[in-house]
Amino acid sequence: IVERRDFAEDLWSIRVSPGGDFSFKPGQYATLGVITPEKHIERAYSIVSAPHEPLVEFFMELVPQGELTPHLHKLKKGDTLTFRKVAKGRFTLDTQSGRTNHLLLSTVTGIAPFVSFVRSLHKDWKEGRFPAGHNLFLVEGASRSWEFGYRAEIEPVAAEAPWLKYVTSISRPWEDAPWK
């Protein structure tokens, strides 16, 4: 683990060095794990980072009674975990079908593959390689505003890029006085 960022008591992201070549498409996932005295525990996690980034980022939520996340939650910068070197999944952005409006709905950690889309497309857009005519409508829901781990990153992109609309909504405004 090269970097760890805590968003809330039960939400955090890690950036890991893949230890060599690791290629993936935005929207894919990787398998992470820890080796305990009893066994090797693994789970799939959507990749937050874009393929051009040197580190691979993941956004996680602690499941107190879960088999793996309590172990992952204890890890900090410099600790190691297992990382399978093959990305998987077909939850990728279709820019070839002729459909140009993409509705992306998520809650909390489900934003991970969409952040990967946004980072990749933002880079392509700045370099003049954005797929013409495509629009992303990203709607993210959470219980409270502090659960929007990537809001501070996505909002400026949405303000700059005409192809991205970003809407956040919370379900417990009475627990989140600063929410507007």
pTM for this one? 0.95
Q: Are 42 and 31 in contact (CB under 8 A)?
A: yes
Alpha carbon 144 to its chain's center: 18
Give pLDDT tens digits for 29-79.
999 999 999 999 999 999 999 999 999 999 999 999 999 999 999 999 999
Angle (CA) 175 178 180, round 5°: 105
Q: In sequence order, what are the beta bridge partners of 55? A: none
Give pLDDT tens digits for 106-151.
999 999 999 999 999 999 999 999 888 999 999 999 999 999 999 9
Q: Where are the alpha helices (DSSP H) in 105-165?
A: 112-126, 151-160
